Structures are given as structure tokens and as C-alpha cells.
Amino acid sequence: MTDEAVESADAERRQPKDAPAREGAAYHDGSAESNEPSFLESVRRNRQWQLSAFGGAVVLGLLAASLHWSGLVLGGMLVGLVSSSLRRALLSAIAFGVIVLVVFSLVHGTLVWVELTPVSYLVVGAAIGLPLLGALARGIL
């Protein structure tokens, strides 16, 4: 027997009986093994797509945050998921929080910060902390 034949026979013996014989075939649980990257991975690799996805995530996050405070978590999660690493996801979440604060200042004016002095600390903390919480989803996915 040649070395290739021996390696092929060893590989067949190590393969579980219920596993498919060829690559890319569906497994018994319905999932498929593929060498192609997922859509999210391809967005993370392509810089232009990543910037477009970041912009869309910011817009969706701002819309959600204007309806409810949990939109800050959602916005942080969205900007985090399109980031290429966990570190960049956390930095993107901080950037999203700063954008939220700038939009808040533009909508309500700068005097609102003086009027809400004790409460403004909570606003800044929530605008930064809640998106950071959402961006931790990047560590999972």
C-alpha cells in the first residue's frame, strides 16, 4: 500500500459512521459544513461593507434609542457585531455612545446639560455603558 492509501484508510476509520462522506454535505442535524465564510464574516473582512454596516447600525441604534433606552444596548450590539474583533467592537460601542450624546445635544440644545447637572452624569454613563454591554455580544458571535 502507498502512503496515500494508508492515510485515506486511516481517515475513513476516524470518521464517524453517521458523518457524510463528502465535504459540504448536510449532517444529520441539518447543518452544513462549508468552507465559505458567512455573510457576517464577509462583512467583517471587507472594509467598505464594514463601514456601510456600521453606518446602518448607528442609524438603527439611534432610531431604537429614540423610542426606548434599551435601543442603546441594541445599537451597541449592532455596531459590535459588524466589528472585526472584540476590542474593535468595544471601541465602536464607545463611538456609538458618543454619537448618541452628540445627537442628544443637537436635539435638546447644550443648555440641557447645565439644567440636568446631577442627572447628566447618569445620561453620559448610560450612553457609554449600555452600548458597551451590547457590544459584548461580539465575544459570543
State pLDDT tens for residues 111-137: 777 777 788 888 889 999 999 999 999
67 and 134 assigned to the same domain: yes
User: Could you tell me the pLDDT band of residue 24, with boundaries at 50, 70 and 90?
Assistant: very low
Task: Report the number of distinct structural domains present in the chain.
Answer: 2
CA–CA dist 134, 112 (Å, integer): 27
Mean pLDDT of 96-111: 88
pLDDT of residue 55: 95
Q: Which domain holds residue 14?
A: 1-36
Burial 23-50 (b: 16+ CB within 10 A, else e): eeeeeeeeeeeeeeeeeeeebbeeeeeb
88 and 23 assigned to the same domain: no
67 and 130 assigned to the same domain: yes
51 and 103 assigned to the same domain: yes
124 and 58 assigned to the same domain: yes
What are the tens digits of pLDDT across the range 38-53?
888 888 888 999 999 9
pTM over 0.75: no
Mean pLDDT of the chain: 81
